[in-house]
Structure 1
Amino acid sequence: MAIDDKTRTELEAAVFRRLVEHLRSRTDVQNIDLMNLAGFCRNCLSNWLKEAADAKGADLSKDESREAVYGMPYETWKQTYQGTASAEQLAAMKKAQNGH
């Protein structure tokens, strides 16, 4: 597919927004499950957003990048949706951990 850089960037941005919206709607899916299955989670996305902002010289705090992904302050999301990780989940994460 031959598309120009502007269109490619717009498409990638649309996909990112859709992914974020999907994760916001799936509050039943815990970050630890995402990490264990896919190797990334909502926090990873927010960290990547912050890193991209930093690389462009844009002023975006860690809290702001997390709120952009979670759709609310991170602490609010944790209190509302985050469950306690099971021993099995923690063991799987330790085994699969790749620096996140």
Structure 2
Amino acid sequence: MPVPPLTPQQRADALSRATAARRQRAEVKHRLKQGSSGIAEVIADGVHDAAIAKFKVSELIESMPGVGRVKAGQIMDDLGIARSRRVRGLGEHQTRALIDHFARA
């Protein structure tokens, strides 16, 4: 299905919304890396916030201190979470397993 043509104003509005969402996700990553926010808090925020709901779980895990791309992949594999999963798509058991994993660490 082709994308409908957008007016210049619609295009500008979409670009500003996309920029705001990227900034918000970058701020969340920074909070996680600094330890001022926990993964449970971010996942809970994803219920009400579309920008966080579209956050890839792999990026979320990589934002945790001491976790890189390889370790994030191993964690996701161990918890049975697909690498393409987004915060919005996490099931109840996956969410609990992810929160418990970082609570132990």
Query: What TM-score bracket applies, with the shorter chain setting the length?
Result: 0.3 to 0.5
Q: TM-score scaled by structure 2?
A: 0.39
Q: TM-score scaled by structure 1?
A: 0.41
